[in-house]
Amino acid sequence: MTYTSVSFLVFTLGCLLVYYSTPKNKRYLVLLLASIGFYAIVCLKYIAFIFLTALTTYAGGRLLGNYIKKSDSLLKENKKTWDKATKDAFKAKATKHKKLITAAVLLLNFGILAFLKYYNMFAITFGAPSLKLFLPLGISFYTFQSMGYMIDIYRKKFEPEKNPLRLLLFVSFFPQIVQGPISFYSNLSSQLYEGHDFDFENIKQGALLIAWGFFKKLVIADTLVEGITAVANDSGSYSGTVVLFSAVFYALQLYADFSGGVDISRGVSQMFGIDLAENFKRPYFSRSISEYWRRWHITLGAWIKEYLFYPIAMSKTFMNFAKFLKKHFGMKISKVLPVSIASLITFIVIGLWHGANWKYLAFGVWNGGIIMISTLLEDRFAAVKQRLKISDKNKAFIAFQMIRTFIVVLIGYYFDIAPDFSSAMQMMVKSVYDFHITELFRYDFRIALCINLSELMMITAATLFLLAVSVTQETNEKTLRERICKKGFLAEIAVFIILVFSVLVFGHYGPGTNPADFYYMQF
């Protein structure tokens, strides 16, 4: 049962009917049963893993919360009677104990994820025997989300959840389990538990977002995926022209696939009155690679920044490194270099998060390295712009920045689509030296990418429509859905019918097709 299947729509409709027919204080149980039911239908064989994560997170959180409460109370009671040395010794002991509890839960859960996802990568590299391993559905997403909850308890941002069923719902909420977005407990938990009143406005806007997600996934992404896969798996048999356009098509396909899936997740959640975090903000309009990563997979970036980048950048080691640089190389280097190195480390982690293959290390190094170099040379770039009298508001310069950033992103995508690092490098080189513009007008070009003329015209029209919607969203504060809904019910129905009709007529589905899983489904 995938998010784009009729069975999922029927499942969601049934859950909505039961949810709004249940007393408000019990509605979270409907969501919990729906989430466990969905996971059992899709991934029953490995459901024990998500239960294990929920159980260890709940137990660890309660243990940690109780210890924090007890130690803080003891410290407060003896505030006047203990001397400074005694207080410092107690605080040090309490901190050590809190770290041990937190580390135990993190090591267990991240250890399971790392073993299942990366063991064979290291085994093949170092000649160890490989194993027939698997990845439970959504393991990266629910592990990151759960461990963020655990770290926040350690930081005393909130008290641990006392009801294990509620925490299990936070870990397993079915609209986001397949591919996120990754939520913070402080943002999502109250929405899951409170029980929402029926609001037809949420139903309408949720339905529009679901239809838009279906359009992007079935009309654009799934139509392109076959040709991209064929070229990537045998790039040596194709010209550089075909290889280059397979990468360009991949940029479109990946965005339509991932953002389309998240749109469906957010649309379904909105029907229940739950507002999931935005995960994309028109990333291909970015003017720098840093901006691109602030717009692409926003919740992963927020998680990495909160729980990895800041702890590294603010660690004692990096602070001492900054002091050393300040003493020997000046204030500017001491501020920029440690942050740049911390950023590079986090992007290496982001790269490896994307897959168990050394090519993803290169993907992370490429993106992190570009950001690191950009940060180090930021003053130089600013001086050159000033000397050339280039305004940041100049439309031609903005267009140049967007194209430049897209090229940088596209180079990184080669590591994503190629089977391995060496294939990615070969595909990049071939895209340059074997490119022939005349090939674009030949019929065999379309055959190579598994797209006939009518499909090419349809993809072009759908992409232009996606671009027009994106430009409209980029230049207005209110979402397009909000503005459509303000125009009245007839406008909403018209847009909904157009999207559904487009999916039914042009969507890639049904007999004779090979439905493509969402790209991030096994993350």
In the DSSP assignment, the letter for residue 46 is G
Type and span of the H or E element at 479 = none
275 pLDDT more than 90? yes
Three-state secondary structure call for residue 370: helix
378 pLDDT more than 60? yes
- Characterise 365 by phi-psi region: left (phi > 0), alpha (psi -120 to 50), beta (else): alpha
| Per-residue confidence band for 515, with pLDDT thresholds at 50, 70 and 90 | low
| pLDDT reported for residue 167 | 97
Q: What is the mean pLDDT of residues 69-82?
A: 88
Alpha-carbon radius of gyration of the chain: 25
**Identity at 385, one-letter amino acid code:** K
Condensed to tens digits (0 to 9), the pLDDT of residues 312-359 reads: 988 889 898 888 888 888 887 888 888 888 988 999 999 888 887 889
| pLDDT reported for residue 505 | 87
Cis peptide before 515 (omega within 30 of 0): no
Q: What is the mean pLDDT of residues 193-211?
A: 92
| pTM for this predicted structure | 0.90
How long a stretch of residues is the chain? 523
| pLDDT reported for residue 334 | 86
Q: Mean of the per-residue pLDDT values for the chain?
A: 89
Q: What is the mean pLDDT of residues 397-416?
A: 94
| Per-residue confidence band for 128, with pLDDT thresholds at 50, 70 and 90 | confident
Spans of all domains in the chain: 6-198, 199-280+419-523, 286-417
| Per-residue confidence band for 518, with pLDDT thresholds at 50, 70 and 90 | low
Please tell me which residue, 483 or 322, carries the higher pLDDT value: 322
Condensed to tens digits (0 to 9), the pLDDT of residues 95-111 reads: 999 999 999 999 999 99
Q: CA nearest 517: which of 189, 152, 98, 135?
A: 135
Question: Which of 130-134, 157-161, 270-274 is predicted least confidently?
Answer: 130-134
Residue 414 burial class via C-beta count within 10 angstroms: exposed 0-12, middle 13-18, buried 19 and up: buried
Q: What is the mean pLDDT of residues 86-94?
A: 89
20 pLDDT more than 90? yes
In the DSSP assignment, the letter for residue 40 is H
Q: What is the mean pLDDT of residues 225-253?
A: 90
Question: Quick check: 504 and 122 in contact, CB under 8 A?
Answer: no
| pLDDT reported for residue 520 | 59
Residue 153 burial class via C-beta count within 10 angstroms: exposed 0-12, middle 13-18, buried 19 and up: buried
